[in-house]
């Protein structure tokens, strides 16, 4: 066959594909809408997941970094070493470390109390309550050198007792604090000076809560503290830093899952619609097959689906930019940063120009092609066979 004839057939096949799409507007619109939402949603989710480490890092930089120094090899309950004992004199040594802006001693004991049948955390402190993620719901914090206590609960509806016993000493409950940390749920907060007397820790404490200057590297500060006293172990207590590490570790696997799900949905959509399309165009497919062979029908259907895929690319991008732009605007508002809509959507557009977006579109295109081939391979032989028999009859 000459090159001119091949080009002529290709041109006719392309024209037939465009005509089929324009004539069947309802089917074409449904296909484009479904593909746009599948691809756009996948691109948005992928870009959002990809931004999580940056967002968490931003939160981390806008929040004070807190380190916890405790006796090395002490067992941890969550992130709290309940049986640690360190000399109170180490406070001045830690304060002298470059990058340390504040050091607060904290007494923590894990023991049985009258609050519950199991052990409870008893925390002695006077300042920096925010470092334990506690918010006072009612009442007041314990006064220094008093037999007053605050109970930390996980729900505002909790009804704590009015009095309790810690190490055979009676305490009056003067406040209730809310916490989202399960480790701190049902913990008891008393004043630091009271805890010193109760547990005979006049010259020692359990841990040091260390606030790091925003310009300092917390890892470097932690290493310097450990080097200053080999008996200490220092960890980053900032939830944002822990979350950043966890999020970074799972981003890749989640992104791959999103791409796979997108490909499966695109494959299912195109397979179903192609089968329906072929069944409703039996005579047209038979006529094209009679003059151009089955390959012409195959190319025509495949070209139709590729054109539909191409037409869904722009709406998918618009959906991705719109949803991701809203996420960007909403996230900034959560951390108290006001940005314009133009900035939010501009940032979203920039976020979508990455290899992950290309991977999403490639996966959708491959799924579209495979779905079309499968549908044609399943339906076409039987359909054309029946059509040709009907034509001959």
For the cut 60, the answer to whether the pLDDT of residue 7 exceeds it is: no
Tell me what pLDDT residue 172 has.
Answer: 94
| Confidence category of residue 241, pLDDT binned at 50, 70, 90 | very low
**Average confidence (pLDDT) over 201-208:** 89
How far, in Å, CA of 316 to CA of 361, rounded?
A: 10
Q: Which of 22, 23, 15, 44 shows the shortest CA–CA distance to 311?
A: 22
Residue 100, H or E segment: strand 100-113
Tell me what pLDDT residue 286 has.
Answer: 57
**pLDDT tens-digit map of 290-329:** 555 566 667 777 788 888 888 888 888 888 788 777 777 7
Please give the backbone phi and psi of residue 134, each rounded to the nearest 5 degrees, phi first.
-105, 140
Tell me what pLDDT residue 127 has.
Answer: 64
268, 371 Cβ separation under 8 angstroms: yes
Give the CA distances from residue 202 to residues 9, 73, 107, in Å, rounded to whole numbers and listed in that order: 95, 23, 11
Helix residue spans in the chain (DSSP H): 3-23, 25-62, 90-95, 192-198, 218-228, 239-280, 282-292, 294-334, 341-351, 355-392
How far, in Å, CA of 165 to CA of 111, rounded?
A: 11
pTM of the model: 0.47
For the cut 50, the answer to whether the pLDDT of residue 247 exceeds it is: no
Tell me what pLDDT residue 174 has.
Answer: 92
Percent of the chain past pLDDT 90, that is, above it, reads 7
| Confidence category of residue 148, pLDDT binned at 50, 70, 90 | very high
288, 2 Cβ separation under 8 angstroms: no
Please give the backbone phi and psi of residue 107, each rounded to the nearest 5 degrees, phi first.
-105, 125
Tell me what pLDDT residue 320 has.
Answer: 79
Residue boundaries of the structural domains of the chain? 12-60+244-392, 64-237
| Confidence category of residue 129, pLDDT binned at 50, 70, 90 | low
**pLDDT tens-digit map of 46-99:** 666 665 555 555 544 445 577 888 888 887 765 677 678 999 988 888 998 988
Tell me what pLDDT residue 149 has.
Answer: 93
Tell me what pLDDT residue 371 has.
Answer: 79
Tell me what pLDDT residue 358 has.
Answer: 77
**Which has more pLDDT, 119 or 93?**
93
How far, in Å, CA of 242 to CA of 60, rounded?
A: 10
115, 103 Cβ separation under 8 angstroms: no
> For all residues of the chain together, what is the average pLDDT?
75
Residue 212, H or E segment: strand 207-212
Query: Mean pLDDT: which of 148-162, 274-288, 345-359 is highest?
Result: 148-162
Tell me what pLDDT residue 379 has.
Answer: 67
């Amino acid at each position: 066959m000459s090159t001119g004839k091949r080009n002529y057939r290709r041109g006719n096949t392309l024209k037939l594909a465009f005509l089929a799409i324009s004539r069947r507007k309802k089917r074409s619109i449904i296909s484009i809408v479904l593909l746009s939402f599948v691809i756009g949603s996948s691109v948005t989710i992928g870009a959002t997941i990809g931004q999580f480490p940056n967002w968490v890092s931003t939160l981390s930089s806008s929040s004070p970094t807190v380190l916890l120094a405790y006796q090395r090899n002490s067992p941890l309950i969550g992130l709290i070493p309940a049986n640690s004992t360190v000399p109170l004199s180490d406070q001045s040594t830690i304060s002298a470390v470059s990058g340390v802006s504040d050091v607060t001693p904290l007494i923590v004991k894990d023991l049985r109390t009258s609050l519950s049948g199991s052990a409870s955390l008893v925390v002695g402190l006077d300042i920096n309550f925010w470092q334990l993620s506690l918010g006072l719901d009612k009442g007041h914090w314990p006064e220094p050198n008093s037999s007053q206590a605050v109970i930390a609960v996980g729900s505002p509806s909790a009804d704590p007792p009015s009095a309790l016993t810690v190490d055979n000493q009676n305490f009056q409950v003067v406040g209730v604090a809310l916490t989202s940390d399960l480790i701190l749920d049902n913990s008891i907060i008393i004043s630091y000076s009271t805890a010193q007397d109760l547990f005979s820790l006049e010259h020692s404490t359990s841990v040091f809560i260390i606030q790091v200057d925003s310009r300092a590297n917390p890892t470097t500060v932690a290493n310097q503290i450990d080097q200053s006293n080999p008996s200490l172990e220092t960890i980053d207590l900032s939830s944002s830093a822990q979350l950043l590490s966890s999020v970074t570790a799972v981003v890749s696997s989640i992104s791959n899952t999103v791409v796979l799900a997108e490909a499966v949905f695109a494959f299912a959509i195109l397979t179903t619609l192609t089968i329906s399309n072929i069944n409703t165009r039996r005579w047209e497919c038979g006529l094209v097959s009679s003059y151009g062979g089955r390959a012409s029908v195959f190319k025509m259907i495949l070209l139709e689906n590729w054109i539909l895929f191409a037409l869904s690319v722009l709406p998918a991008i618009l959906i991705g930019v719109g949803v991701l732009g809203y996420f960007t605007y909403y996230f900034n508002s959560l951390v108290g940063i006001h940005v314009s809509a133009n900035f939010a959507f501009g940032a979203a557009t920039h976020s979508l120009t990455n290899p992950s977006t290309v991977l999403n579109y490639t996966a959708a295109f491959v799924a579209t092609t495979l779905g079309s081939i499968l549908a044609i391979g399943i339906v076409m032989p039987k359909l054309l066979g029946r059509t040709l028999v009907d034509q001959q009859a």
